[in-house]
């Protein structure tokens, strides 16, 4: 990487990294203010990280207090006054489970891959594919199973009705896809196609446009809900003022959290988005009006909408809204001819997931200003170290290769998709022109809006509605089955056995599990680095 020819590309990487992190922190904070302070959403996934942090911090505090007590020879009195924290014990149980499973699932193939040419795998990574076998009676339905135990814990943590809705959506997809195949809508699928190819073809034939419509319905319904909430809040404050009552603090941030003014958030985002557009247009030329319109659409319409839709879905069901091929479709429709447009730093991102991070900070009592200061220090360190590790990893061995099972599984499809994408703006027919179907888009928008209205009228929980939309055609079937199994296990066994205490324990156990898995993954990477860094003599 460190050659003069790469300097322009490295400069664009540095620019994109800095701008995206600024947007991620600032716009993510603005969305957090909207979803947390105004809408009061629960954020079901936030307690996982927060409880893990509290468990670690409490253990460190206990250790420091114990050392001080020992130095003063008053240990017995201190232990009688303050019992040991339950969080640390529960966190340790989850960590041991994560260590044991991670050693088999991640450690064994990584370590053996570092020592021999073919790694040993007990559980297939990333999943086992059943699509070619089930295609005879489930036409155009991607089927498979992931053995990643983390999905089981995620299913226990997520709200029950969100998981029920997701599973119902998955069942609807299993019924809907064969019907769409019979009506020649999913006409690209062929018997024998594997899971990846089936998902790709289904996306091109139907779910690309349908997914855009459904996601737009989520955004529109969310915006209407916010508008109603803001209008009700304004009306309520006006009534209080008319009655001479004190100003209500609902919707305002609590004092001492380290908040900033909303106009500063808006000004920061406008500034970074304008820089994105100026840099991109200076590279392709300001005469490319189609590209300029696409950049304006990304920066001032799509990114705020998809980020807000994700923020609401994260706040309600702990999930992310993802619309595939938006960048590809818009660049193709822009009329640009050439391949340079695919490498521009574009203002196209989804910052809604950052709201969970801010919710975790609030739960742990962390001031936001300290987070932003640390980000200023860490960004240059992360940028430089990422380039150094990229240079080192590429020098270790071939990628894809047996040492990288996920990359070896996905690289061919990724390369084919990129070839189609990059060649689509050279002129001629493109497969994405067929994927963008306004009829299917309007169908998705109508069905999504109708589902919200009908289920709300029937009194269905909000979690079920968002889970249902998540499961229809967009979710990973290999993970949803294990997640729903975890939801069943948590609700009908552990919760009945332990009561409400289980809802306190499971976020801490899950945080410990991910910590144990992360330690094994880090150890495996270390083994790989050490083995590849050794020079082997030919005798």
- Position 229 scores a pLDDT of 62
Residue 129: strand pairing partners: 144
Tell me how crowded residue 95 is: count the other CB atoms within 10 A of its CB: 23
Calculate mean pLDDT across residues 204-213: 83
pLDDT at 402: 62
Tokens describing residue 243:
């009655």
Query: What is the reported pLDDT for 487?
Result: 93
Scanning the structure block, which residue is given the tokens 């994408």?
A: 421
Q: Per-residue pLDDT for 490 more than 60?
A: yes
Beta bridge partner(s), residue 144? 129
Q: How far apart are CA 123 and CA 19, in angstroms?
A: 39
Predicted confidence at residue 230, as pLDDT, reads 61
Instruction: Over range 121-146, report the average pLDDT.
Output: 88
Spell out the SS3 assignment of 162-187.
Answer: HHHHHHHHHHHHHHHHHHHHHCCCCC
Instruction: Please return the burial class of 341, using the count of CB atoms within 10 Å of its CB with bins 0-12, 13-18 and 19+.
Output: buried
Cα torsion 439, 440, 445, 449 to 10°: value is 110
The residue to which tokens 């009552």 are assigned: 245
Task: Judge whether 269 and 23 are in contact, CB under 8 Å.
Answer: yes
Residue 379 has pLDDT above 80, yes or no: yes
- Give the least confident one: 91-95, 232-236, 370-374: 232-236
Q: Please give the backbone phi and psi of residue 183, each rounded to the nearest 5 degrees, phi first.
A: -90, 10
Q: Which residue has the higher pLDDT, 460 or 176?
A: 176
State CA 15 to chain mean position distance: 23
Pair of tokens at residue 86: 């339950």
What is the enclosing helix (H) or strand (E) of 15? helix 7-32
pLDDT at position 534 is: 64
Model pLDDT, residue 428: 64
Report residue 351 CA to chain centroid gap: 10
Taking residues 355-361, what's their average pLDDT?
84
- Among 54-58, 337-341, 359-363, 457-461, the range scoring the smallest mean pLDDT is 54-58
- Of residues 247 and 156, more confidently modeled: 156
Tell me which residue of 308, 336, 340, 338 sits closest to 321, measured CA to CA.
308
Confidence of residue 407 (pLDDT cuts 50, 70, 90): confident
Q: Between these two residues, 535 and 479, which has the higher pLDDT value?
A: 479
Dihedral angle computed from the Cα positions of residues 152, 153, 157 and 161, in that order, rounded to the nearest 10 degrees: 0
The residue among 255 and 164 whose pLDDT is bigger is 164
At residue 475, the pLDDT reads 62
pLDDT tens profile 24-41 = 888 888 888 887 777 777
- Model confidence pLDDT, tens digit, residues 227-243: 676 677 677 667 777 77
pLDDT of residue 81: 43
The DSSP annotation for 234-264 comes to: HHHHHHHHHTTPPPP-TTSPPTTS----HHH
Q: Which pLDDT does position 83 carry in this prediction?
A: 45
What's phi and psi for 145, nearest 5 deg?
-145, 130
pLDDT of residue 415 exceeding 70, the answer is yes
pLDDT: which is higher, 181 or 533: 181
- Indicate the pLDDT class of residue 48, thresholds 50, 70 and 90: low
Averaged confidence pLDDT in the chain = 79
Residue-level pLDDT at 215: 74
Give yes or no for a contact between 430 and 424, defined as CB atoms under 8 angstroms apart: yes
Q: What is the mean pLDDT of residues 91-108?
A: 91
pLDDT for 77 beyond 70: no
CA 284, 287, 288, 292 dihedral sign is: positive
Tokens of 320: 């992310």
In whole angstroms, what is the distance from residue 460 CA to residue 287 CA? 52
Nearest 5°: CA angle at 233, between 361 and 253?
A: 25
Closest CA to 272 of 30, 7, 33: 30
pTM: 0.67
At residue 4, the pLDDT reads: 85
**Confidence band, pLDDT 50/70/90 cuts, at residue 347:** confident
Coil/strand/helix, residue 128? strand
C-alpha 82/C-alpha 74 separation (Å) is 13
What pairing do the DSSP bridges indicate for beta strands 128-129 and 144-145?
Answer: antiparallel
Q: What percent of the chain has pLDDT over 70?
A: 79
């Amino acid at each position: 990487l460190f050659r003069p020819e790469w300097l322009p590309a490295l400069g664009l990487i540095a620019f994109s990294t800095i701008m995206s992190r600024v947007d991620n922190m600032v716009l993510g904070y603005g969305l957090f203010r909207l979803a947390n302070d105004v809408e009061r959403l629960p954020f079901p996934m936030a307690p996982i990280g927060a409880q893990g942090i509290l468990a670690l911090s409490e253990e460190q505090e206990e250790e420091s207090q114990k050392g001080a007590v020992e130095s003063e020879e008053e240990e017995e009195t201190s232990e009688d006054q303050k019992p040991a924290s339950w969080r640390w014990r529960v966190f340790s149980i989850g960590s041991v489970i994560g260590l044991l499973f991670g050693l088999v699932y991640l450690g064994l193939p990584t370590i053996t891959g570092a020592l021999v040419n073919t790694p040993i795998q007990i559980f297939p990574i990333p999943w086992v594919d059943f699509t070619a076998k089930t295609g005879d009676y489930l036409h155009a339905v991607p089927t498979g199973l992931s053995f990643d135990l983390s999905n089981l814990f995620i299913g226990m943590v997520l709200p029950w009705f969100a998981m029920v809705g997701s599973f119902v959506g998955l069942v609807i997809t299993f019924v809907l896809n064969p019907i769409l195949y019979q009506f020649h809508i999913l006409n690209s699928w062929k018997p024998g196609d594997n899971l990846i190819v089936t998902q790709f073809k289904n996306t091109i034939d139907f779910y690309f446009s349908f997914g855009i419509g459904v996601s737009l319905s989520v955004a529109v319904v969310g915006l209407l809900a916010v508008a109603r909430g803001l209008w009700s809040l304004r009306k309520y404050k006006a009534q209080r003022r008319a009655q001479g009552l004190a100003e209500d603090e609902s919707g305002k941030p609590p004092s001492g959290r380290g908040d900033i003014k909303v106009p500063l958030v808006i000004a920061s985002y406008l500034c970074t988005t304008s820089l994105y557009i100026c840099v991109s247009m200076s590279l392709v030329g300001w005469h490319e009006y189609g590209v300029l319109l696409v950049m304006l659409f990304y920066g001032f319409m799509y990114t705020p909408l998809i980020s807000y839709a994700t923020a609401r879905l994260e706040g309600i069901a702990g999930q992310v809204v993802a619309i595939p091929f938006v960048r590809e479709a818009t660049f193709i429709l822009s009329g640009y001819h050439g391949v340079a447009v695919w490498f521009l730093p574009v203002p196209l991102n989804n910052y809604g997931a950052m709201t969970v991070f801010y919710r975790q900070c609030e739960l742990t009592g962390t001031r936001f200003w300290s987070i932003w200061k640390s980000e200023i220090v860490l960004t240059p360190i992360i940028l430089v170290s990422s380039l150094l590790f990229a240079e080192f990893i590429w020098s270790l061995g071939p990628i894809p290769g047996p040492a990288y099972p996920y990359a070896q599984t996905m690289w061919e499809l990724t390369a084919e998709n990129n070839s189609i994408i990059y060649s689509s703006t050279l002129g001629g027919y493109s497969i994405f022109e067929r994927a963008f179907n306004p009829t299917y888009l309007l169908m998705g928008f109508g069905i999504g809006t109708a589902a919200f209205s009908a289920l709300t009228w029937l009194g269905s929980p909000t979690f079920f509605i968002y889970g249902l939309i998540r499961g229809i055609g967009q979710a990973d079937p290999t993970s949803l089955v294990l997640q729903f199994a975890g939801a069943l296990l948590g609700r009908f066994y552990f919760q009945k056995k332990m009561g409400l205490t289980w809802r306190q324990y499971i976020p801490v156990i899950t945080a410990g599990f991910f910590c144990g898995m992360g330690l094994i993954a880090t150890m495996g990477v270390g083994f790989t680095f050490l083995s590849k860094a050794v020079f082997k003599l030919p005798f």
